[in-house]
Amino acid sequence: MNRLKEIRLDNDLTLLDLAKLTDISPSDISQMENQKKYPFPGWRKKLAKALGEKENYIFLFDAWIFSKV
């Protein structure tokens, strides 16, 4: 499980809950959680704010890059 999903679940949020907080579609959030869609900078900021975490804590860029090699 990636960190975005882990934090979302730790906060007892559904995909729909987080989508409403961030104005990002549940489908896009799900795809980010499953590393099928890149988390754009604006989305990273919205998600970090909604989850009360720092962007770098949620999105480990090295892990994202190396998981795709």
The amino acid sitting at 22 is: T
The pLDDT assigned to 69 comes to 47
State the pLDDT at residue 13: 98
Q: How many domains does the chain have?
A: 1
- Residue 53: burial class (beta carbons within 10 Å; 0-12, 13-18, 19+): middle
Domain of residue 48 covers 3-67
What does the pLDDT profile of the chain (69 residues) look like in tens digits?
A: 689 999 999 999 999 999 999 999 999 999 999 989 988 999 999 999 999 999 989 987 545 554 554
Looking up residue 36, the CATH number of its domain turns out to be 1.10.260.40
**Residues 6 or more apart from 41 whose CB is under 8 A from it?**
none
pLDDT on residue 59: 84
